[in-house]
Amino acid sequence: MQRCAILDDYQDVALSMADWTPIAGEVEPVVFNDHLDDPAAVAARLKEFPIVVAMRERTPFDAALIGALPNLELLITTGMRNASIDLEAAADAGVTVCGTPSAPGTTAELTWGLILALLRHIPDEVAGLRANGPWQTTVGGDLNGKRLGVVGLGNLGGRVARVARAFEMEVSAWSRSLTDARAAELGVERCATLEELFGTADVVTVHLALNAETRGLIGADLLARMKPGAVLVNTARGPIVDEAALIAALRARRIAGAALDVYDPEPLPADHPFRTLDNLVATPHLGYVTENTYRAYFAGAVEDIRAWLDGAPVRVLSAG
């Protein structure tokens, strides 16, 4: 019987979201509901496990951690991309890394939830009603006729842009690879520069992958170009936006507000300013946390383990 560690299952749902019987009698799943930040503690916990299922990027597997796990043979990440796994180090250590399917569009859906929550002050009004406070304390913003600026017009950015048309918004977009044809396909205006997008949009929403080029891409200079009444939404990755610059802009009220679902690090420290700023709507990285997504993730993990046991791994990820 081989043991499989299932990490960071905050909601304790991994075993109920999939049928694990295809590996019953050969693999024992062991669920961990807590999160460990200390790499030494992670290594101590996992040192005896040949199989590990990691939930997205909650627990990074760098070269040092992989090197501290001599028994590790199969590492599964939910989803098909995980920037926190050193795939070269895994290959060097003889560790097979596999991904899983996911459900489409969930982060795009949350993006619109955050935009509406921020502009209509939904968290504040709900809290006031529950506290039996004053009836109506805010005046909400409108979407109709406003301009949405989409940073990154890939799959998720495209989904967000299509919804904006239903709200009768103007939509502009920028990415390094954005073509006129792609912009025309979605009925959006292509901005030649990020500066143009940030200077003209009422709502800026970020949908880029995190890499060396996008880390810190949105800093004080771009935030300073935003209209005083504009808002920023980030459901992509925390480090794409310069955290200190955003906190400064929110505190000084140089922009009207922000909505965030992603941070660096995660979970967010208890004393972090993002937990208390009154012009920020913040959620704990919920973009992918839906029933359909979790069912796809964990069913895929079972398939990955079964295929690996049979000597024919599927959805193998490599550095190349």
Q: What is the dihedral of CA 237, 239, 241, 246, to 10 degrees?
A: 120
Neighbour count for residue 298 (Cβ, 10 Å): 26
Amino acid letter, residue 61: F
- Find the DSSP H helices in 55-185: 63-67, 87-92, 106-119, 122-130, 155-166, 180-185
The catalytically annotated residue of 225, 266, 272, 306 is 266
Residue 207 annotated as catalytic: no
The catalytically annotated residue of 121, 159, 285, 303 is 285
On the CB side of 181, how many CA atoms lie within 13 Å of its CA?
Answer: 1
Q: Which SS3 state, helix, strand or coil, does residue 54 take?
A: strand
Joined together, the tokens standing for residue 107 give 């982060």
Report yes or no: 278 and 256 within 8 Å, Cβ to Cβ.
Answer: no
Residue 266 annotated as catalytic: yes
Neighbour count for residue 67 (Cβ, 10 Å): 14
Active site residues: 237, 266, 285
